[in-house]
Chain A
């Protein structure tokens, strides 16, 4: 039981800090003052955090499968929340990657919209996470 709980807890640590960074990174780049001049540094941080979210989310499933041979049982509401969360994470990852690949050619308004989009995706994922947690 100790090893199992430790595996879940360490995965949760990565997942929690990932959530903090995807939201905090995007918001801090925009507010209370614009830091879009350092947008690439923020985007790298956000890209890595979304990657950590995806990896740790998958690791929850792997841990469950390793210890019990099956995946979590989710209600229809929770499954919908999971789909929303995964979609937000993949979109966030791709948006941050797109900015890092081509953002130098983008205007300031586009860059601002990108970070607003990243913040919105983080809010969506965090909201879905609450429904996933309590509707299962």
Chain B
């Protein structure tokens, strides 16, 4: 094995083996509403979020009661929640990869709609 071949093999091996944590983690934050908030359905309810998909993520999905309702492609923004019926509701923003698989980065809050 010549030196060039050895270095190429070593570089490929390191590329495959370096764990993702060394590249830093992503984050997903629900800025508003706040966890536990009580919302008036007559008001315009907007979910404000901030996402950093990190090295494994690509974009984010928004879920209401575990049902996907929106694709969030902006890193930071608002989403108008039009279909919130009364009662306790779970709102989640989860980072997903290009294959749309949640990668374990996200935030969920509980709100009560009057």
Residues of A within 8 A of B (CB): 1-4, 6, 8, 60, 63-64, 67-68, 70-75, 78, 135-136
Contacts and interface: CB of A to CB of B under 8 A. Distances in A.
Interface residues of B, number: 22
B100 A68 contact: no
28 contacts: A1-B18, A1-B19, A1-B20, A1-B23, A1-B56, A2-B16, A2-B17, A3-B16, A3-B17, A4-B56, A6-B16, A63-B99, A64-B99, A67-B101, A68-B101, A68-B103, A70-B101, A71-B101, A72-B99, A72-B100, A72-B101, A73-B68, A73-B100, A74-B68, A74-B100, A78-B100, A135-B71, A136-B71
A80 to B, nearest CB: 13
A75 B70 CA distance: 8
A1 B57 CA distance: 10
Interface of B: 15-20, 23, 55-56, 61, 68, 71, 94, 96-104
Which of B68, B71, B100: most chain A Cβ within 10 A?
Answer: B100
Contacts of A75: 68, 71
A75 B61 CA distance: 10
B100 A2 contact: no
Nearest to B63: A73
A120 B76 CA distance: 41
Contact of A2 (B15, B61, B97, B98): B15
A1 B55 contact: yes
Contacts, number: 50
A73 B106 CA distance: 14
Nearest to B55: A1
A60 B99 contact: yes
Given A68-B101, A73-B68, 4 more contacts: A1-B55, A68-B104, A71-B101, A73-B100
Contacts of B100: 72-74, 78, 136
Contact of B101 (A3, A6, A64, A78): A64
Contacts of A73: 61, 68, 94, 96, 100-102
Nearest to B23: A1
